[in-house]
Structure 1
Amino acid sequence: MIQKSTHYAKQGEVTRNWVLVDAEGAVLGRLATQIAAILRGKTKPQYTPNSDCGDFVVVINADKVQLTGNKADTKVYYRHSGYNGGLKAESFRQAMEKHPEQVIERAVRGMLPKTTLGRQQLKKLKVYAGAEHPHAAQNPVKIELEA
């Protein structure tokens, strides 16, 4: 009987593509799950959980992302400085006015592994508030994500 071995993708064998995603009118959580799957490489047949085999993702129109229901009014982002009384709270609307890119980055970061591999995969995410991006030289392929 022939024993079949599992193929594990190595760093040198992985071909990285550039993907362009338009966030206009997209729901934040659904967009973030699909972006996280692309960053991890789960859309590729040679996916290996313990290596970085994902693609680069460029997100445009981050300022036009939406939430369902009344979460736009009730969702709050918290951060803590580490000092007494250092808890800062920021609503979704305030965050979208000040830095809409970080809203998408934070949603995707929560869906990636909390390890050095997850931090390495997050570096391949490029988010821009408007429709312009400086990655035209990489020829990113525009894809439509499922709604």
Structure 2
Amino acid sequence: MKTYMAKPADIERKWFVVDAAGLPLGRVATTVADILTGKTKTIYTPNVDCGDYVIVINSDQTVLTGKKLTDKKLRWHTGYIGGLKEVDYGTLMAKDSPKAIHTAVKGMLPKTSLGRKQITRLHIYKDADHKQIAQKPEKVEVKGVRN
């Protein structure tokens, strides 16, 4: 018996929507990263892009636990001398919450051309309205969240 390896022509992509209201940032990001990479499918193959499209709504209502709003920082370098920039997550969530989710998900994807292709299928919106209604996305529940 041979191991099944998915081919790019065999992949059928679906649309999923994740409601991030009141959920921790890391839980949302891991769920989204699993769907984008295709790890939720039975035909998952590591070297083939077999992931689906993901829409994240209500990104403004995502929460960070503990003291991460003040202590955790997002850092990047502009490429110029003395160009190290940083912003704490409290400021980032108030100013641009989709960027916080985008960077968290991007850090969980492969750092290759495959990961760059997968992140393009992520759509994040601050509120419950989104443009992909015609695709009829399926709702996904985030696992492991205490209610």
Tell me, yes or no, whether TM beats 0.5.
yes
Query: Which residue is equivalent to 1:22?
Result: 19
Is 1:115 aligned to 2:112, yes or no?
A: yes
Q: Which of residues 46, 49, 70 in structure 2 aligns to 1:49? A: 46
Q: CA deviation at 1:140?
A: 0.3
CA deviation digits over 1:75-111, x for unaligned, max 9? Answer: 1111111111111111111111221111000000000
Q: TM-score, normalised by structure 1?
A: 0.95
**In structure 2, what is the Cα distance between the partners aligned to 1:62 and 1:27?**
11
Which residue number in structure 2 is paired with residue 87 of structure 1? Answer: 84
Runs of 4+ in 1 over 3 A off after TM superposition: none
In structure 2, what residue type is equivalent to 1:29?
A: G
Kindly provide the amino acid, as one letter, of the partner of residue 23 in structure 1: A
AA partner of residue 108 (structure 2): M
Higher CA-based Rg: 1
Q: Any stretches of 5+ residues in structure 2 without a counterpart?
A: none
Deviations 1:20-62 (Å, cap 9, x if unpaired)? 0000011111211111011000000000000110110000000
Identity among equivalent positions (%) equals: 49
1:1-147 correspondence runs (5 A): 4-146=1-143, 147=145
Question: What secondary structure is seen at the aligned counterpart in 2 of 1:110?
Answer: helix
Distance 2:11 2:142 in 1: 23
CA RMSD of aligned residues (A): 0.8
5+ long unaligned stretches in structure 1: none
